[in-house]
Amino acid sequence: MPDFLTGIRVIDVSQYVPGPYAALQLADMGADVVKVEPPAGDPMRHLVTVDEDGLSPFYKAVNGGKTVVRLDLKSAAGKSAFEVLLTAADALVESYRPGVMDRLGFDRARLEAINPGLVHCAITGWGQTGPYRLRANHDLNCMALGGGLAASGTADRPVAAWPPASDYASGIQAAAAICGALIRRGRTGRGAYIDMSMMETVLAWQSGGLTAATRPGLAPRLASDLVNGGAACYGIYRTADGRFLTFGNLEEKFWANFCVAAGRPDWIPRQWEPMPQDGLTAEVAAEVANRTIAEWEALLDSVDTCYQAVLDFDEVPDHPHIVARQLLHRFDDDRVEAAFPAWIDGHAPGPRPVVDEISAQDAVERWASPA
């Protein structure tokens, strides 16, 4: 695994996906991550289904490489152990609603007194301020307000992304911000307080759409923009056997190469017809529907064009390119793990250590000495 963050200690007090995924990335980069859970554990331990070890495979997917300790942060003993960990920590990731850390006795002033160099990242749905700060939420709600559903789906209705985009986006953004804060701390010795909103991580992607909405004719609601159904050269089409092909032929040469391969060179000059290109899209759909997915792959694999078949989950691990990139690891319990998504210094990332649980005393003793 990468050693970028070797010697960095991270406390993860979050649950479900955004915070745990942020801490997972830090662990993947070499950080020592202790996940602090309440006495009953993270509710995700039992999400949907459990394996023979009593843990949900979805819990293990975002907590590999971490050490888990259960602390009752409402008790004196739990607070005391947590304070020892905070003293030795470089970063804290938490996902409580605004005000919860204060009520537990670890408000900002207290955290700064315990550890002035601590990088504290608080991930919430809506942020620490504003009228929605205490409002309940999950990914879909954050996507709705942040513009993530404004142009998704079809002309009839928005369609939610999978996996939950704001969950993972906020985890990625949090990990990046924590790394940036740690670099600043290396220069100044000063810690940081990062107010990370799931909604705003999606909002941050919307500059293009928001700008287009100010220009007449550029941003109709749905299915008439360049990359959401309006252009025939960029879309998803059903094949003769009920599978799907994606085309991303925005460049004229890629579109032309596809048209020639499909036996329809007459489509080449029509690429930039006014959108929505309902007529051209219908023609392409009819042509795609004449061949099976295997026939299209045989036809297009050697063509310099932006196409890819839509794979089902059970097909992904055995795809030749996925196999060659070595980022998926399979385990005896039928779990499939997606590793840190980058090769480092010419090497693919290996599998993560399994999530491990230790006692509060062991956690305190482990962090009592310098990293």
Catalytic residue among 12, 28, 42, 167: 167
Which of helix, strand or coil describes residue 153? coil
Q: Which helix (H) or strand (E) holds 180?
A: helix 165-188
CATH code at position 264? 3.30.1540.10
The sheet with strand 244-248 has its strands ordered as 234-238, 244-248, 307-309
Is 362 known to be catalytic?
Answer: no
Tens of pLDDT, residues 210-249: 887 887 766 555 546 788 788 999 999 999 999 999 999 9
Q: Coil, strand, or helix at residue 284? A: helix
Residue 34 lies in a domain: yes
What's residue 218's pLDDT?
63
pLDDT at residue number 210: 86
Question: Are the C-beta atoms of residues 126 and 135 closer than 8 Å to each other?
Answer: yes
Per the domain annotation, does 316 fall within a domain?
Answer: no
Domain shared by 15 and 132, yes or no: yes
Taking 50 as the pLDDT cut, the residues of the chain under it are 223
Domain end call among 265, 294, 309: 309
264 and 147 fall within a common domain: no
Q: Which of 163, 152, 95 is nearest to 125 (CA)?
A: 95
Domain containing residue 171:
9-205+340-366
In a domain, 142, yes or no: yes
Q: Are residues 234 and 173 in the same domain?
A: no
**Do 196 and 254 belong to one domain?**
no
Looking at the fold, whether 15 and 158 belong to one and the same domain comes out as yes
**Considering the domain boundaries, does residue 84 fall inside one?**
yes
Q: What is the spatial distance between Cα 7 and Cα 174, in angstroms, rounded to a whole number?
A: 19
182 and 125 within one domain: yes
In a domain, 216, yes or no: no
| Pairing, β 244-248 against β 234-238 | antiparallel
Instruction: Round to whole Å and give the CA distance between 116 and 105.
Output: 16
Write the CATH number for 196: 3.40.50.10540
The verdict on whether omega for the bond into residue 276 sits within 30 degrees of 0, i.e. cis, is yes
Name the domain count of the chain. 2
pLDDT on residue 347: 94
192 and 230, same domain (yes or no): no
Q: Are 250 and 171 in the same domain? A: no
Q: Choose one of 270, 287, 309: the last residue of a domain.
A: 309
Residues 149 and 290 in one domain: no
Where among 267, 291, 309 does a domain terminate? 309
Dihedral angle of Cα 37, 41, 47, 53, to the nearest 10 degrees: 110
Nearest to 41 by CA among 68, 78, 64, 75: 68
Confirm whether 112 is domain-assigned.
Answer: yes
In terms of domains, do 151 and 198 share one? yes
**Is there a single domain that holds both residue 114 and residue 198?**
yes
- Give 100-155 pLDDT, tens digit per residue: 999 999 999 999 999 999 999 999 999 999 999 999 999 999 999 999 988 887 77
Type and span of the H or E element at 176 = helix 165-188
Inside any domain, residue 144: yes
pLDDT of the residue at 217: 66
- Dihedrals phi, psi of 237, to nearest 5 degrees: -130, 145
The two tokens of residue 5 are 């963050």
Asked if residue 260 is part of any domain, the answer here is: yes
- Is the same domain home to 193 and 284? no
SS (H, E, C) 19-77: HHHHHHHHHHCCCEEEEEECCCCCHHHHCCCCCCCCCCHHHHHCCCCCEEEECCCCCHH
